[in-house]
Structure 1
Amino acid sequence: MPRLLPLLLMLMAPVLPAAAQPQESSRFFPYTLKTTKLPNGLTVVRVPFNSPGIVAYITSVRVGSRNEVEAGRTGFAHFFEHMMFKGTKSNPEGQRERILGGYGFDDNAFTTDDITVYQAYGPTAGLPQLIALEADRFQNLEYSEPSFQTEALAVLGEYHKSAAAPDLKIEESLAKTAFTRHTYQHTTLGFYDDIKAMPKAYAYSRTFFERWYTPANITLFIVGDFDDAQVLEAVTKHYGNWKRELATVAIPAEPAQTKARSVHVDWAQPTQPRHVLAWHTPAARADTPDTAIQSLLAEYLVGDTSPAYKELVLEKQLVESLYVSTAPHRDPYLFPIDATLQDEKHRAAVDATLRRDVKALVDGKVDAARVKAIQDHLRYGLLMGMDTPRDVAIDLAFYSGVMGPPDALASYLKQLGTVTPKQLTAFAKKYLVDSNLTVLTLTPKPAAGGTP
C-alpha cells in the first residue's frame, strides 16, 4: 500500500438524484468519492482516476469468518470466495472467465476475518459486460452438489498446504486461547473438523449465501476512467431489482479477559522458535482513533526505528524478525507482537525486552519526535502506494468493509496524523496490561533420535 498526491477538497454530487448520498469532503484523502445507495440497499462508490482506458471494479461483501456463528459451520465465508466463480444459468461456469479474459481483465478475490473482496481490473471498454456479469453471479449463483463437494475438497487441500508451516498453527492456537466465545476464535479457513465435514453441508451452503450475499451487505467501488452517468445507469439496471434481505445474526460478544493466559505449541519439524505477546484491543471504527493508535504503536514498539528492533535484531541478534499485525477488525481483536527467535535460549531475554518497552510506554515515556516521524511515514506511505485504480479501490473496500462508511479510509488517514503521544500512553495503560495478555510460545520439538 505504501507518492504523495495532490489533496482534493471537494466531493462531487452523484449524477442520479435517486438515493444519492452526498459526503463530507476530506483533505486527508486525495480522490473524489461519488456515493449512491440504491433503494435495495446496495452502495455504489465511484472514484474518477487518471488512468486512461483502465478501471477497477471491486465488490466488498461484509462477511468473513466472524459471521460463522453455527457450531460445525466454520470456513464458509472463505469457501464462497471459491464458489462465486462457478457460474449461473445465464453464464455457466467458465463463460464469465472467457468473456473477461477476452478483454484482458485480471480477476481475483480474498477473504479476511470480516470481509470478502472480489476484484476485477482491466479495460474500460469491457466495463458494461463486467457489470452485467458481476450482477448476475451475485444474484443468481448456481452450483450442483457434486461441484460443491469437489470445491470443498479443494479447500481441505488448501488447509493441508497451509498447515505445513507453523503460522497457521500459531494463529489457531492463539485465537482459540485468547477468545472464549467470539467467532474470532477460529481462523478464516475454519476449524479443521468443520472443513473435513464441509462436503456434507450443501444445503447449508445455500443458506449461508442467501444470508450474507445481499445488496444491503455489499458495496461496489468503481475506480478509474469511466463515464459516471453511464456506469450508475448500468449498475442500477443490472442490480436494481435484487431484493434479497440481509439476515440478522447475533455475533457472540467476547467477555473481558481478567487474567493472563498462555499457550505452548510444540512443532515437530525444524523451524525457529516463536514468541507472541497478544493483548485484546478495541474494534476498528471510523469515528475513533483506536485503529490509528494501534498502527502507530506497532511501529513505535517494534518497527525499524524502535529500541527493541535495534537491540534484539541489529545489535544482539537474538531475534530474526519482529512484527505486529494491525489489520483492523469489526469487533475487538488482538494486538500481537510476534518475535521469531534465533534460538530458544534467547526467549526470556526477548520477552523481558518487549515487556520493558511496553512498560515504558505505559509509564508515559514517549519519544514525541519519533511518534511524529512514524505518523508521517505511515500516512505518506499509504498515499504513495495508491498508484493504480486497483490500489485505491482495494484500500477503500478494505477499510469500508471493516469500519462501515465508504470513506472510512479518509477517516483513518486523518486519525493517523492527529494521534498524540498522550493518547498512545492512555491506550497502553488501558489495554497493554498483563491481565489482558495472552502469551504464545512455539518450540521446534525434535523427533526421537533427531535434531531440529
Structure 2
Amino acid sequence: MRMRQLPALLAGLGLSMSAFAASSDKWDLPVHVKKLDNGMTVVVSEDHSSPTVGVSVVYHVGMRLEPKNRTGFAHLFEHLMFQGTPNAPKGVFDKTITGGGGRNNGSTRPDFTNYIETAPVSSLEPILWLEADRMKTLDFNEKTLKNQQDVVKEEIRVNVKNQPYGGFMWIDISQHAFQKWENNHDGYGSFQDLEGASLDDVRAFHRDYYGPNNAVLAISGDVTPDQGFALAQKYFGGIAARPTPKSGDFSEPLNKAEKRVEQTDALAQVPAIAAAWKIPERGSRDQAPMAVLAELLAGGDASRLYQGLVKGREIALNVDSLFGLVDPWTYDGPTLLTVFALYKPTSNADAVLTAIDEEVAKIAKDGADEATLKRVKTRMLADWNNSLESFINRADTLAKLQTLWGDANVVNKIPGWIEGVTSEDLKRVAATYLVKNNRTVIDRKPVAKEAAPAPASAAAAGAKN
C-alpha cells in the first residue's frame, strides 16, 4: 500500500527519479593540501564514518627514471624499502602495522612508486614514524640486496617466464610501440641488470629520489586536516630536502606506421593478440574522451568489441583493455591503450584486427547514441566512486593525483570530465588515435605440440598385424 503511493508522493513534491539521482550521485571528497617547508606535500581527506585511516606515500619516481643498464631497478628498490632501517630492523615495519590491526603494500609504476597502509586510527602515528624513518635512510647491506635480487628474479619467473602469455600485452608491446628507452624498456628488468645493481646504486637512488620534496603524503579517514598536518610536520618536517635530478623529455609523437610482431608461446593453449595505440598526453582535452572510448570498446560484456568479436563474429574468446600498468588518469608520460584478446585457433590475427577496425570505424563515423553513452558513463562513474570507498584506496588516489597533476582535487573533477564527453568527442578521438598507422600489434601463438611417440608395446603389436 505505501509503495503504491510513492510515485504520487514524488509527483506531488515536484520530484522526478532522474532529478533525485542527479542530486544524490554527486560526491565531492574533502581535499585539504599543505606543503611543508622541506617541500613535502600533504593531503588530508577527513571522513569519520569509520575509526580507521588510509595512508599513502607516493614518490615521483618509477620505471621511466631508473638508470640505464639497470632495468627493473625502481621495482627492486621498492622491495628494499621493506627490508629495514638502522632504527627499525627488518620485520619491524610489517609487525608494527599488522600487530596494530592494519595491512600494507607497495607498487612500482612508470611514473611513481607508492607505499600504502590502512589501520585503526590509533596506529596512525606509528605508521607515519615508520614511513618517515625509511625516508631518512635504509639498512644498506649486501646480504639484503642479494636476497631481494633473488626475490625479484623469482617474481619474474612466476609472473612472466612461467606464465602463459608472459605479460606480453604490457611488457613486449611497449618495447615495440615506443622509441625512447625510458618508455620501452622492461620495467621488471633483465636478470643481468638486476644482478648488476650495487649498494652504491641503491644509496644514490634513495638519496636522489626518496627525499621529502619528491614525495606526497596522503591521509584519509578519521582525522581532521589540522591533526593530519600537525602529524606530518611532527614526523616528516625535520627531514631535509634533497636535490632531485631533472627528468628528461620522454614525449613521443603518435606512430606513423603500423608495427606487426609475431611471437610463439610454449605455455599458451590458444593464440592471443595485443593491439596498442599511443594515447593523448596527460591533461589533453582528449584524455577523458579516450577513457570513455576505451570503456565503450572493451569495458565488459556489453562493450562493442565483446559483442562484436566474442558474441557476434564468434572469433574471440574474450576481450579486455588496459592502459599500460595504470589507469586513464595516473600516467605522466607516453602511454598505450591496449586491447588484448584470446582468439579461436580456427581464426587468425587479421580477422581479429579487421573486426576491431570495423567497430572503431563505426564509432569514428557515428559516435555513440545517447542511451549507450549514458550507460558507459554510469558504469565508469560507479567504478570511480566505488574505488574511493576504502580509505586506503582514497588516500592512494589522492597522493597519485597530487604527484602527477599537482592537484589532488582532480579526484573531484574526473566525474565531471567523464560526464562532459560527447558523441562528437568519441568520433574525433577514435579517428585521431585508433588508426592503423598508430597501432602496434603482437600476435602470440602456441608452440605446435609434437605428437607423443607410441608406446613400444603398441608399436610392436602394430608390426605383427
Structure 1 residue 96: Cα displacement? 2.7
Structure-2 separation of matches of 1:336 and 1:100 = 37
Tell me the equivalent position of 2:7: none
- Report SS of the residue matched to 2:58: strand
Structure-1 separation of matches of 2:334 and 2:405 = 12
- Report SS of the residue matched to 1:72: coil
Tell me the equivalent position of 1:150: 147
- Report SS of the residue matched to 1:363: helix
1:30-179 correspondence to structure 2 within 5 Å: 30-68=28-66, 70-162=67-159, 163-165=161-163, 166-179=165-178
Structure 1 residue 78: Cα displacement? 0.9
Q: Does 1:442 align with 2:444?
A: yes
8 Å CA contact 2:48, 2:223 repeated in 1: no
Structure-1 separation of matches of 2:346 and 2:183 = 29
Structure 1 residue 316: Cα displacement? 4.2
Residues 251 and 74 of structure 1: is their aligned pair in 2 closer, same or farther, counting only changes over 3 Å? farther
Tell me the equivalent position of 1:272: 270
Aligned length: 425
- Report SS of the residue matched to 1:167: coil
8 Å CA contact 1:60, 1:115 repeated in 2: yes
Q: Does 1:237 align with 2:234?
A: yes
Structure-2 separation of matches of 1:442 and 1:321 = 15
Tell me the equivalent position of 1:12: none
Give CA deviations for 1:264-309 in whole Å, capped at 9, x if unaligned.
1111224221112211112223xx4433222211121233323432
Tell me the equivalent position of 2:339: 337
- Report SS of the residue matched to 1:272: coil
Residues 295 and 253 of structure 1: is their aligned pair in 2 closer, same or farther, counting only changes over 3 Å? closer
- Report SS of the residue matched to 2:317: strand
1:293 to 272, 289, 311: 289
Which AA in structure 1 matches 2:172? S
- Report SS of the residue matched to 1:59: strand
Which AA in structure 2 matches 1:268? A
Structure 1 residue 191: Cα displacement? 3.6
The answer to which of 58-67 and 363-372 deviates more is 363-372
Structure-1 separation of matches of 2:350 and 2:437 = 19
Give CA deviations for 1:18-43 in whole Å, capped at 9, x if unaligned.
xxxxxxxxx96421111101111111
8 Å CA contact 1:318, 1:350 repeated in 2: yes
Which AA in structure 2 matches 1:195? L
Which AA in structure 1 matches 2:182? T
Structure 1 residue 59: Cα displacement? 0.8
- Report SS of the residue matched to 1:40: coil
1:212-251 correspondence to structure 2 within 5 Å: 212-243=209-240, 244-251=242-249
- Report SS of the residue matched to 2:255: coil
Greater Cα radius of gyration, structure 1 or 2: 2
Tell me the equivalent position of 2:9: none
1:182-201 correspondence to structure 2 within 5 Å: 182-198=181-197, 201=198
Identity %: 26
Tell me the equivalent position of 2:364: 362
Structure-2 separation of matches of 1:365 and 1:255 = 25
Give CA deviations for 1:198-234 in whole Å, capped at 9, x if unaligned.
3xx2211211121111212211110111244333222
Structure 1 residue 341: Cα displacement? 0.8
The answer for unaligned runs of 5 or more in structure 1 is 9-26
Which AA in structure 1 matches 2:62? G
Give CA deviations for 1:103-130 in whole Å, capped at 9, x if unaligned.
1121111112221111111111121222
Which AA in structure 2 matches 1:445? V
The answer to which of 112-121 and 335-344 deviates more is 335-344
Structure-2 separation of matches of 1:203 and 1:260 = 42
8 Å CA contact 2:251, 2:334 repeated in 1: no
**TM-score normalised according to structure 1 size:** 0.87
- Report SS of the residue matched to 2:257: coil
Which AA in structure 1 matches 2:189? G
1:262 to 260, 263, 275: 260
Structure-2 separation of matches of 1:90 and 1:396 = 29
8 Å CA contact 1:88, 1:142 repeated in 2: yes
Give CA deviations for 1:244-273 in whole Å, capped at 9, x if unaligned.
222213144335422111111111224221
Tell me the equivalent position of 2:406: 404
Structure 1 residue 449: Cα displacement? 4.1
Tell me the equivalent position of 2:417: 415
Structure-1 separation of matches of 2:452 and 2:205 = 47
Structure-2 separation of matches of 1:154 and 1:7 = 50
Residues 429 and 187 of structure 1: is their aligned pair in 2 closer, same or farther, counting only changes over 3 Å? same
The answer to which of 147-156 and 295-304 deviates more is 295-304
Tell me the equivalent position of 1:23: none
Structure 1 residue 182: Cα displacement? 4.3
Structure 1 residue 56: Cα displacement? 0.8
Structure 1 residue 388: Cα displacement? 2.2
8 Å CA contact 1:223, 1:392 repeated in 2: yes
- Report SS of the residue matched to 1:93: coil
Structure-1 separation of matches of 2:191 and 2:293 = 33
Give CA deviations for 1:138-175 in whole Å, capped at 9, x if unaligned.
11222212211111111111111112111323433211
Tell me the equivalent position of 1:17: none
Structure-1 separation of matches of 2:340 and 2:101 = 40
8 Å CA contact 1:47, 1:224 repeated in 2: yes
Tell me the equivalent position of 2:456: none
Residues 402 and 445 of structure 1: is their aligned pair in 2 closer, same or farther, counting only changes over 3 Å? farther
Which AA in structure 2 matches 1:109? G
Structure-1 separation of matches of 2:286 and 2:389 = 27
Structure 1 residue 102: Cα displacement? 2.5
Which AA in structure 2 matches 1:294? M
